Structure 1
Amino acid sequence: MTHETRTRAKIGVLVPFTNTNLEADMMLMRCPDTTVHFQRMGGYDVDEIPGSDQMAGLGASDISHDLRMISGVRPDVVLYGCTSATLTHGPGFDADLAARIKAGSGAISLTAAGSLVAGIKALGATKVGFSSPYLGEINTQAMAFLAANGIETVKCADIGRELGNYGQGELTPEDVFDLACQADHPKAEAIVLSCTDLRAVEAVERIEARLGKPVVTSNQAMMFCLMRALGLPRHDALPGRLFDCL
């Protein structure tokens, strides 16, 4: 039997406590010889619809305990695994949170929202179709977040109904495929799928084949950014054209 060394990199991930898909996606995309370590974080009410106020509250919540816990594995990188928690506050807050996580963990720090922007820019796209399972207000804030980073949203699609904290994670890859197709537009140079609890990673290649455009998802973008930051090699389990930019 051949064993992995597990010495290439240690990846720490902060995960909202109701999220059921981020961990699975990170394990699907994990580079051989790396290990992935998760710390769940609270800061929101599981019974409330995850609107703008709740997600902004999560972003502003105290994560000092979570940082102490994830720091125990001496990670090389720490990911903040909720997109809407920081994009609801804007780019300045997102960058500040990343800096605070770096200071508290001693590791490279990447946020989901910041990684989306980095992934879009790596593709050279300035106009995108945007889709998510969020409520309308968060989508408006998301488009403003992208615009502040020089990215225009030419079409926005949402799921069309309110989803609870578990409802987002229960959408199927087929649901995600349909949502992405709704966000397409002749001027869109890429399709963005925002939300770390969305089963978008499994749908990326099918969407790209149908629409002929690159797709950027929250979890895929975080993996792309951490691989680029750590100099990790490309491997076969990486979905989408984004990884051509490594």
Structure 2
Amino acid sequence: METEIPALLRARETISPERFTFHSSRMRMKHVTKEELAAMDAASDRCALELSDAAVDVMGYACLVAIMSMGHGYHRESQARLHQVTVDNGNSAPVVSSAGALVDGIKAIGAKKVAIVAPYMKPLTEMVVNYIRSEGIEVTEWRALEISDNLAVAGHDPARLPGIVASMEQIGDVDAVVLSACVQMPSLPAVSIVEAQVGKPVLTAAIATTWAMLKSLDLDTRVPGGGTLLSGAY
């Protein structure tokens, strides 16, 4: 949230007049486990309240797996509740989540079947896969990188991602590739490489969240280096 989304919006500033500032409030998590994710999500109301003090124009809930671990469809409940926090604080702001944005982004480009790369341990990755399936999207193949330490997720080398995708046996059967189902795991430098490699749209949680934020602000969604979803066509 604090690296790739600002990077995408800075890239947009090179071709569009709007300028952005970035504000963050943190929900604590060290290890990506279901227990820590639940505790993290419980702190989201505090974060929304703090950010609404700054009268921001849009808020993004970064952690995809925190939302998806709370039950199918939870992104709608979370977004509505956090938006109400901003309303009650007198600074109403739309709230998007990386979980909801990824689902909406996949549907926006017309993809029915996807392949997914995620940094999580296998049980959490299966939870993410099942959440996406519950939204009517077929997940044909997935890879769990099984990185439990949250800082290690951020330190994963995106240069490894093209090789990981190349190892997927059913990549020819999908409509799109989710290169990182996690805003924390860096992937932006590999997006255009993998799009060229597989000849299919490639999107990430960070790209989808940026797209959802721009849509909520009623701004053009063309961002250099943002892949198919941020081509401006959606």
Structure (1 or 2) with the greater strand fraction: 1
Which residue pairs with 1:78 in the alignment? 59
Aligned equivalents of 1:165, 1:88: Cα separation in 2:
16
Unmatched tracts of structure 2, length 5 or more? 87-91
- What is the deviation of 1:150? 0.3
Aligned equivalents of 1:176, 1:236: Cα separation in 2:
21
Aligned equivalents of 2:211, 2:99: Cα separation in 1:
13
Change (3 A) 1:155 1:165: same
**Contact 1:132–1:139 (Cα < 8 Å) also in 2:** yes
**Contact 2:223–2:230 (Cα < 8 Å) also in 1:** no
Change (3 A) 1:190 1:235: closer
Residue 25 of structure 2 is aligned to residue 40 of structure 1: yes
Stretches of 4+ moved more than 6 A in 1?
A: none
| Identical aligned residues as a percent | 22
Report the 3-state secondary structure (helix = DSSP H, G, I; strand = E; otherwise coil) of the residue aligned with 2:95: strand
Which residue pairs with 1:56 in the alignment? 38
TM-score by length of 2: 0.87
**Contact 1:168–1:197 (Cα < 8 Å) also in 2:** yes
**Contact 1:43–1:58 (Cα < 8 Å) also in 2:** yes
Residue 186 of structure 2 is aligned to residue 204 of structure 1: no
Aligned equivalents of 1:238, 1:211: Cα separation in 2:
17
Report the 3-state secondary structure (helix = DSSP H, G, I; strand = E; otherwise coil) of the residue aligned with 1:110: strand
Which residue pairs with 1:66 in the alignment? 47
**Contact 1:77–1:108 (Cα < 8 Å) also in 2:** yes
Which residue pairs with 1:14 in the alignment? none
Which residue pairs with 2:89 in the alignment? none
Residue 24 of structure 2 is aligned to residue 24 of structure 1: no
Unmatched tracts of structure 1, length 5 or more? 1-21
The CA RMSD over aligned residues, in Å, is 1.8
Aligned equivalents of 1:25, 1:36: Cα separation in 2:
14
Aligned length: 220
**Contact 1:29–1:223 (Cα < 8 Å) also in 2:** yes
